[in-house]
Structure 1
Amino acid sequence: MTRLALALSLAVCALPLQAADTPDPDRAEFNALSPVINALIQAEGPVELMERAEALEDENLLQALTLYITVARERPNSLASYKAASLLARRGDDDAALIYLEIADERGVLFPLQLTENPDFDDLRQTPIYLAALANAQRSYDLISPSLVGATGGVLLPGADTGPAACRPVVVWLHGYGINGFMHEGFQPLADAGAILLGINGTEMLDSHTSFRWSVDGFEQTHLAVQKQLDQLAKTDCINRKRVYLMGFSQGALHGGALLAQHPDAYAGALLMSPGGRQPNPTTSKARGKRVVVINGKQEGPGNLQRAEAFRTLFGRGNVVQSRVHEGEHEFPDDWQRSLPAALRWMMQSGG
């Protein structure tokens, strides 16, 4: 924070103290506005303002709305106009909500799932503005999604000292909700466990070109996407299709476990971290003789803890399961760059 910003933020909070028994309407009004004022003073730019607005949504809807409208004016192509429309609709200000929804539509920032799965718009779904916005969003989605959904997000090759390059095993990375298959350089130790690491985008785009989820209607779309990207990878690298392993986090772990259970001929094993998502776990498994690793945090929510235990039970019949509970929450273990490569090496020892 700059000295000027610090001085201003301190100044706006430093109203004179009043007697304890004398209510001060001006002070009360200012206290209600101070989070907005401080955000406007201190935030480095629109991105930080959006983050502050999102943090305020559950605490004070009006404060969050003020920041979204501010960003919508400053950065037209942001999601701020959509967020403003959503909060206005939640308040019951339908006319104002439709104004900002139309602005978001004109700026081309909408995606179908934003609209269809947002309960804030339940009372507006039959209005011409909502229907036009949804139709336009769907047309844009249909144009851009074929090259992005279910596509390869990244490929990491093992280091030169990890063995011969010919016909390597593959570990398919299935990301969690809201991100994508890109893998930063920190993932390299996982590839150095001895397999090509293949990251794949989810099969449905959420609210940006970099935000995906896996289908919430069964698991077959995920299986088809994985097989398609394996076919693409095989055009440039010699891969061993008998040694394809799945590694997933959260919703990706749920789908990874389901794919191994339903398509054991296509996958040799799975590493499942903190499985989660909307769909129920599979209750039957065709997998036999596989190595499976199930990891979760001790501090995760009850639903995620139950999912992890359910996968341990499901694959405990006829397979070999390695289990770990770390001290954290719904996240990678703190030592993941060391422990996950070790888990992958153990999983791949069976050779499928």
Structure 2
Amino acid sequence: MYFIILASLMALASSSTFATEKRYPVGEEPITLHAHSPLNAQLPRSAHSQEDKKTEAMSLYLTLTREDERNIWAPFQLAASSAEKGQTELAERYLQLSAKRGLWYYYNLLEDNAFKNIQQSDTYRSILAETKARYEQYAQQFEGKPKYAVPHGTPPSGGWPTIVYLHPYGKAAEINPQDRLLFAEAGVAYIELNGTQMLAEDSFRWSNFSEESTQSAIQRTLQELTPRLKLNPQQVYLAARGQGALHGANLMAKYPQFYNGALLIAPRGSIPPAQHSLAENKRIMIAYYDRKNFNDQALALHFANLFNERNQVETGHFSQGEDAIGGWQERFNQPLRWVMGKSADASPGA
């Protein structure tokens, strides 16, 4: 029953989603909240949610809080909802309950606008410090970690060509059977990485500061896996979506010596897009969706123009996301083969 309730909660809350010492890259250390400093809220609670959905969500959170004494997320959401309504004492009470159960969702607590009215209170700041400590101890075992699939059989001379995939905001590395079949048929190794900052279980993002930690995570993974999986370090390609695509585009512009080409799907995010590119003689496919806002389309076209001068660049735009046609494999199989030089045609499917 708890799993059913939790699945319902995550769907309803999607708009507000949420030992050894760890050495973080410069700028990547979990930041400390300073008095009166503005927060860059990445997880705003929607002001346009329907009241009946809010009521239903709170009812489910209350049920789960009572029936599952180990659940952290339910009292956290009750605290956020109470704080948003100005119910300070109740908010702190639920937040203390979540902390007592082991709250470690550091970035959710730090960046959620709902807590702006209590973020200077002693209770909030104490819980934030506890949460940060738990986060640093727990999240390091998952951040930037890879999942991978390698074709059966003997690798070609020089090793397997390799695709490195960077997921959108709030996702995690996950290779499904369709992915395995797609890349096995293409004769390439496939690596997915978790983002470098963990938000919650199976939810990660890439840095909002710069692409440097992403580059470090990729190179660290390739250094470890290349001899073990017999990868070809001279044939590494990027495939990325959403926030991962913005990072991938910046990496292609700044570190082209590490990547042979890129498939960049709907880039978006907070880091500044590269204004100069060192990439030459690369194959780069950039896709965007008409349903996205103007800034997202402009960002995709910015990268198309940036790379166009000294590279082979193809663009594609669609009226809806790939999920509507059954998966990104169907739409981007052909463009990905073009990026790798396995096809002369970059036309997307469906």
Identify if the C-alpha distance between structure 1 residues 327 and 335 changes in structure 2 by more than 3 Å, giving closer, same or farther. Answer: farther
- How far residue 231 of structure 1 moved from its aligned partner, in angstroms, is 0.8
Structure 1: 5+ residue stretches without partners: 1-41
Report the Cα offset of residue 319 of structure 1: 0.4
Moved more, 74-83 or 214-223: 74-83
CA distance in 2, matches of 1:281, 1:252: 12
Instruction: Specify the alignment match of 1:113 in structure 2.
Output: 107
Asked if the contact 2:104–2:135 (Cα under 8 Å) also holds between the matched residues in 1, the reply is no
Gaps of 5+ in 2: 16-45, 344-350
What residue number does 2:169 align with? 177
Q: Tell me the CA shift for residue 75 of structure 1.
A: 2.3
Compute the TM-score of the two structures, normalised by the length of structure 2: 0.81
Q: Is the 8 A contact 2:165 2:192 kept in 1?
A: yes
Q: What's 1:150 paired with?
A: 144
Distance 1:72 1:234, change over 3 A: same
**Partners of 1:294 and 1:322 within 8 A in 2:** yes
Contact 1:291 / 1:347 at 8 angstroms: preserved in 2? yes
Residue 160 (structure 1) shift: 4.6
Aligned-residue offset at 1:300: 2.0
Q: Does 1:197 find its partner at 2:156?
A: no
> Which structure 2 residues correspond to residues 317-328 of structure 1 after superposition, within 5 A?
317-328=309-320
SS of alignment partner, residue 143 of structure 2: coil
**TM-aligned CA distance change 1:259 to 1:224, over 3 Å:** same
**8 Å contact 1:113–1:206 — kept in the other structure?**
yes
Report the Cα offset of residue 293 of structure 1. 0.7
Match of 1:54 among 5, 10, 13: 13
Q: Determine which structure has the larger helix proportion and give its number.
A: 1
Q: CA deviation at 1:332?
A: 7.8
5 Å matches for 1:100-249?
Answer: 100-152=94-146, 154-160=147-153, 164=156, 167-192=159-184, 193-208=186-201, 210-249=202-241
- Using the alignment, how far apart are the partners of 1:135 and 1:43 within structure 2? 29
3-state SS of paired residue (2:140) = helix
Q: Structure 1 residues 93-102 or 122-131, which shifts more?
A: 122-131
- Matching of residue 338 in structure 1 with residue 330 in structure 2: yes
The alignment's TM-score, normalised by the length of structure 1, stands at 0.80
* C-alpha distance in 2 between matches for 1:146 and 1:255: 20
> Distance between the aligned counterparts of 1:43 and 1:214, measured in 2?
30
- Give the 4+ runs in structure 1 shifted more than 4 A: 330-335
Partner of 2:62: 69
After superposition, residues 76-95 of structure 1 pair within 5 angstroms as: 76=69, 77-95=71-89
Would the aligned equivalents of 2:2 and 2:68 in 1 still touch at CA under 8 Å?
no
Question: What's the counterpart of residue 268 of structure 1?
Answer: 260
Q: Matched residue of 1:108: which SS? A: coil
Give the aligned partner of residue 26 of structure 1: none
Question: 1:313 corresponds to which residue?
Answer: 305
The aligned length equals 307
- Separation in structure 1 between the aligned mates of residue 223 and residue 249 of structure 2, nearest angstrom: 21
The 8 Å contact of residues 203 and 212 in structure 1, kept in 2 or not, is answered as yes
Tell me if structure 2 keeps the 8 A contact 1:50–1:68.
yes
* Structure of larger gyration radius: 1
Question: What is the Cα deviation at residue 340 of structure 1?
Answer: 2.3
Cα distance in 2 for partners of 1:52, 1:151 equals: 26
CA deviation profile, 1:142-175 (whole Å, cap 9, x unmatched): 11222211111x10113559x7375111110100
Query: Which residue of the partner structure matches residue 14 of structure 1?
Result: none
1:161-198 Cα offsets, whole Å, 9 max, x none, are 9x737511111010011111121112124423222101
Contact 1:297 1:331 in 2 (8 A): no
Residues 187 and 337, structure 1, Cα contact 8 Å, conserved in 2: yes
Letter of the structure 2 residue corresponding to residue 310 of structure 1? H
Identity across the alignment (%): 29
Distance 1:266 1:47 in 2: 41
**Of 98-107 and 50-59, the range deviating more from structure 2:** 50-59
SS in 1 for 2:169: coil
Structure 1 residues 234 and 53 mapped into 2: Cα distance closer, same or farther (>3 Å)?
closer
1 CA distance for matches of 2:325 and 2:165? 16
CA deviation digits over 1:8-40, x for unaligned, max 9?
xxxxxxxxxxxxxxxxxxxxxxxxxxxxxxxxx
Indicate the RMSD between aligned Cα atoms, in angstroms.
2.5
| Segment of structure 1 superposing worse, 100-109 or 183-192 | 183-192
Partner of 2:41: none
Contact 1:168/1:239, CA 8 A, preserved across alignment? yes
